[in-house]
Structure 1
Amino acid sequence: MTDTERAAIAARSVFDVTTAKPEPPRPQLEAVPVYLADAGDHDALLDSFLDAHGEFEKWRAWSDETTYAIHESQTLRIERAHETLARETAWTVAAYETPVSDRMWHLTATDATPSPVLQSLLIHLAEGDGWDTVIGTPVDERTVTTTTQPLAEAGWKHTLTGHGIRWTSPDGQAGVRFDPLTAQHPQNPATWTIWAGSDPDQPTWAITASPHTPSSLLADLSETLAHETGTRQAQPGHEHRPRLAASALAPPAVTAGRPASRSR
């Protein structure tokens, strides 16, 4: 190259450096009680679950808008709807006594549910027959006490409301509710409701569960809410001091149908 060409290249490189846009700062994360954590990547969570648990097979609906994880026994089905809004149902878990029987229990979770909460749920489901329940067994006082014991031990406030019994986190940002009236109807979608947010009627996220949802599963979720922490993007001008108190349970109600196509 001639001296003129070299000079032109050098000048251009200086211009490129001085005009290059700086990289945007990485979001700062803060530790918070798990019920206040960001939702995270639900699709990646499901993929990791399926990779680790070969007893579940992955199916996709013909539209690719829904993924199903079906246990080899055909009695437990997990449905993940991909195109949902934060407060819409994105997960449905349904358990059956046999592959062709009626549903025993079901649970749903909205799209904004924190990944650590969902991970606790999936881990429980992966532990063999952890989804079994006995149809016809009433939800009695002992069952409710066992299910919510982690919340009581963590100092969650216990109150009676027009909707039943409620446990509220010390910071008032999460809650668990049991409705004894709906417990008499096995297919009721929301005998148990777990939520986060200051208003239970407009929750940030929620999980709901039908009456015969295994108490051991709900107790595991209570333990997670009461003692686990997560992360969320730091909010300018807001400092949150995490405390060892938990979160709340959330809403169930959907039937996992038979998928249309299978993905390998």
Structure 2
Amino acid sequence: MPYAPADAHVTFTLHPDHHPGVLATPSGPTGDAARSHLHDLGFRSTGPDTMVLARIDREEPYYAAQAANELAAYGFTVDIAPALQEEIDTEWTWADYPMPWCSREEIRQVSADAQRIHDDIATGRLTIHLHANDGHTTVAVGTYATGVRRHVHLHGEDHLRQVSLTFEDEAEALADFHNQYNVAVRRGPAPPTELEQSVHQALCGRATPMAPTALATPPMTAGPGEHEEFLDHLFDSKPQWSKYRTWSDETTIASHESLTVRAEFDHEARHRTDTAWTIAEYDGPVGERLWRATITAGTPVPFIRAITDHLDDPLSAEPAEPHVPLHEAGWAAASHPARTTWQAPDRSLTFEHQPHAVGDRWTVFGGDDANRPAWSIRLSPGVPQALLAQLTSIAVHSTSPHSSTSRRSPPLPRLPVPLPQRHGRAR
């Protein structure tokens, strides 16, 4: 294990509203290490201090016990509530299980395979094209994002869903599915089962996470020319930034006097999702890159201003966790196998964190659909916590009821910084 787990405590209890889901509460100086390990074991964050294990096979006590044993082996202090321990010690079986010849471990393996399919669909790794009812259960055809034999037929629901056929060609998979189920075929995935909805609600930490609702407020976006105006104002008001033009005049480069920060602006970015800004900070004038941000043309100017202001005067005090302002403002948290998202109450703005991503670790985007954002800011690993805290605070301010809902981004004031200081790196 790459970190020392000493002084961390993890408490496991039964979920009060989703039986037999499990809550894990890490605490202590190395609680982040425990959270990272729990994430690898299937737990998902639903708040700053709480993680949930919710599965479609209802084997949460079994996997919670495995997680507790692994954490204890690494030196974490582990506490299991009596009610959960009773569930762990009680062996149970599915009523009317359709594969009576399977042993208990074989049943768990079938269920674990079904859980992986469920997770692949939830994360978008497996896209479902069509579904049907074969008279007994739900069947479907889908495509994995990667893999050799990545086009599959699925059979069953919940803990019984299995891959029944694999194909190398998508057209062949779809044609075979149509031939088998004919008029019963329907577009897209089947409606979620009651168990899937219950699991999703437990992971999201809200009552009706799957109910579609319209946006109360359209996403705030930058108007035409606002980024150009901001760039001009940056050079006029801050002499520590120097202006350079490339040979094609399509790009302006802003270089900080510390020689550790560089921002590139693409004047040809027209569509709101075109990359307009690329900003990076380096470990010294000729050092390695510490982090990078890419910003699209529709991004409201206050977010860009927050980034450049942070590069001029970073916070000297240690900030709170970035998600704290979102949690305090009532943003809905939803956890998936590979990411955690926080969504504004009016669904006009979303923060997304992928803790294990190599490229874009944090994403801020307008709207509630990551596939069709109004704009986006993507931040690599290494981005300072203080900057993330500023961005989340601006997000809360911009989506509060008193904020403007016009298309042009309002001129938000810069967040106060307790003890501003300049970069300490030499030229």
- Give the TM-score, by structure 1 length: 0.65
Q: Are 1:209 and 2:351 an aligned pair?
A: no
Structure 2 CA distance for partners of 1:34 and 1:204, relative to 1, 3 Å: closer
Equivalents in 2 of 1:45, 1:231: separation in Å? Answer: 20
Query: Structure 1 unaligned runs (5+)?
Result: 1-31, 133-141, 235-264
Q: Are 1:198 and 2:368 an aligned pair?
A: yes
Deviation at 1:176, TM superposition (A): 0.5
SS state of the match for residue 94, structure 1?
A: strand
Q: Are 1:108 and 2:108 an aligned pair?
A: no
Letter of the structure 1 residue corresponding to residue 285 of structure 2: P
CA RMSD of aligned residues (A): 2.5
SS state of the match for residue 222, structure 2?
A: coil
**1:87 corresponding residue in structure 2:** 273
Q: Are 1:51 and 2:236 an aligned pair?
A: yes
Deviation at 1:156, TM superposition (A): 0.5
Give yes or no for contact 1:154–1:227 (8 Å, CA) kept in 2: no
Equivalents in 2 of 1:122, 1:198: separation in Å? Answer: 26
**1:36 corresponding residue in structure 2:** 220
Letter of the structure 1 residue corresponding to residue 246 of structure 2: A
Deviations 1:31-68 (A, max 9, x none): x9795243451011011011111111011111110111
**2:257 corresponding residue in structure 1:** 72
Give yes or no for contact 2:220–2:407 (8 Å, CA) kept in 1: no
Deviation at 1:123, TM superposition (A): 2.1
Deviation at 1:119, TM superposition (A): 2.1
Identify which of 332, 338, 345 aligns with 1:163.
338
Equivalents in 2 of 1:223, 1:33: separation in Å? Answer: 18
SS state of the match for residue 74, structure 1?
A: coil
Equivalents in 2 of 1:33, 1:56: separation in Å? Answer: 36
Equivalents in 1 of 2:405, 2:231: separation in Å? Answer: 19
Q: Percent identity?
A: 34
Deviation at 1:116, TM superposition (A): 2.3
Aligned length: 186
Deviations 1:94-144 (A, max 9, x none): 0101111221110111001012222222222221xx299xxxxxxxxx98x
Structure 2 CA distance for partners of 1:131 and 1:56, relative to 1, 3 Å: farther
SS state of the match for residue 147, structure 1?
A: coil
Query: Structure 2 unaligned runs (5+)?
Result: 1-215, 409-427
**Bigger radius of gyration among the two:** 2
SS state of the match for residue 87, structure 1?
A: coil
Q: Are 1:227 and 2:227 an aligned pair?
A: no
SS state of the match for residue 172, structure 1?
A: coil
Q: Are 1:121 and 2:307 an aligned pair?
A: yes
Q: Are 1:147 and 2:147 an aligned pair?
A: no
Equivalents in 1 of 2:279, 2:325: separation in Å? Answer: 23
User: Whose relative contact order is higher, 1 or 2, with alpha carbons under 8 Å and at least 6 apart?
Assistant: 1
